[in-house]
């Protein structure tokens, strides 16, 4: 169910690019939300490997995952990884090769939707021609959904002759049951979300720890109706103070330090008998511009009086400031 050009490209490649294997990377700390993408992928192609990344972060947060049960429920290999530490990457590549070579046969179970949608999809599936490269059930659901971007990609990459009369009749039956185009898409999304929730409930176990309890206490304070707004106002006041006044002090110190190097640079250039034009270019041009840029852009050198606003806006452009 693509919602952007990037998702359409990914969907079209999985559908029409004949991939040997599709790897879906999910976040171990929020598995339920990521399972939505996994289920959409396994509906298209069975040759899928799920990489559960950030296992180290899950351990820190007290989240325990039954990956063996997850693999059984999804019908595809599930590999735990901590990519930042390099853990699990070899096992992931072995699983990819095994699926791509056909040594591991993936059998993801179909997602069940409400009875009216299942009947309409079964009717469309029976009308599809033999030799269809795409998953027939998934294709029937997409035809019922009538997604313009997918239909355009289908006609461009794998034109399929399907009876328009049967498709129109199936949509009419759904409409009679109170399931129009928008409602159909909502029901399809609901089916995915509920299935993901069921799987997550079976495989995810969160163990409360001291850090999590502390975070909950902080959240209660920061999001409370009584304390949340005052804290927000104090934080904004602090940000404004740092932006308007507080940043001037380190900025002035940095500016004085950088500009104090003018004399040593000039002395060094004179010692090697550098031409006057080269001294001016290196010291008054390149070095002073660099010093201005560092002291104004990086630490917001200027204060914020109303009469001096033009200097504020020109601060990121030291060459313009020099020519004012």
Question: DSSP for 21-74?
Answer: -EEEEEEGGGHHHHHHHHHHHHHH-S-EEEEEE-HHHHHHTTEEE-HHHHHHHH
pLDDT for the residue 298: 59
Query: Using CA of residue 164, residue 169, residue 175, residue 179, what is the dihedral sign?
Result: negative
pLDDT for the residue 322: 38
pLDDT for the residue 313: 36
How many Å separate Cα 69 from the centre of its chain? 26
pTM higher than 0.85, yes or no? no
pLDDT for the residue 210: 62
Phi and psi at residue 50, in whole multiples of 5°? -100, 120
Start-to-end C-alpha separation, the chain: 55
DSSP 8-state secondary structure symbol assigned to residue 79: E
Distances (CA, A) of 35 to 3, 40, 103: 17, 9, 25
pLDDT for the residue 209: 63
Nearest CA-CA partner of 320 in 294, 281, 289, 299: 289
Tokens of 269: 């250039």
Which residues, given as ranges, of the chain have pLDDT below 70?
A: 163, 208-212, 297-324
Contact 191, 112 (CB under 8 A): yes
């Amino acid at each position: 169910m693509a919602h952007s050009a990037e998702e359409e490209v990914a969907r079209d490649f999985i559908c029409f690019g004949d991939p040997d294997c599709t790897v879906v990377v999910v976040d171990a700390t929020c598995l339920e939300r990521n399972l939505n993408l996994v289920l959409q992928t396994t509906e298209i192609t069975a040759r899928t490997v799920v990489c559960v990344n950030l296992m180290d972060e899950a351990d820190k947060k007290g989240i325990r995952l039954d990956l063996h049960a997850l693999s059984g429920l999804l019908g595809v290999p599930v590999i735990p990884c901590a990519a930042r530490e390099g853990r699990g990457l070899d096992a992931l590549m072995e699983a990819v090769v095994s699926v791509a070579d056909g040594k591991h046969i993936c059998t993801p179970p179909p997602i069940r939707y409400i009875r009216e949608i299942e009947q309409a999809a079964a009717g469309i599936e029976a009308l599809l021609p033999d030799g269809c490269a795409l998953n027939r059930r998934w294709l029937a659901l997409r035809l019922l959904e009538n997604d313009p971007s997918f239909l355009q990609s289908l006609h461009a990459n794998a034109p399929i002759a399907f009876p328009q009369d049967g498709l129109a009749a199936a949509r009419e039956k759904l409409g009679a049951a109170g399931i129009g185009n928008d409602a159909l898409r909502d029901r399809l999304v609901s089916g995915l979300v509920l299935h993901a929730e069921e799987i997550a409930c079976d495989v995810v176990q969160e163990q409360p720890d001291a850090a999590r309890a502390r975070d909950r206490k902080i959240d209660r304070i920061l999001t409370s109706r009584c304390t949340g707004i005052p804290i927000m106002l104090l934080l904004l006041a602090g940000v404004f103070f740092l932006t308007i006044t507080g940043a001037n002090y380190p900025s002035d110190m940095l500016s004085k330090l950088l500009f104090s190097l003018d004399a040593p640079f000039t002395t060094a250039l004179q010692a090697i008998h550098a031409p006057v034009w080269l001294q001016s270019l290196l010291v008054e041009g390149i070095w002073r511009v660099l010093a201005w840029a560092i002291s104004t852009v990086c630490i917001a050198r200027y204060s914020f009086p109303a009469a001096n606003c033009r200097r504020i806006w020109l601060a990121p452009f030291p060459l313009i400031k020099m020519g004012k």
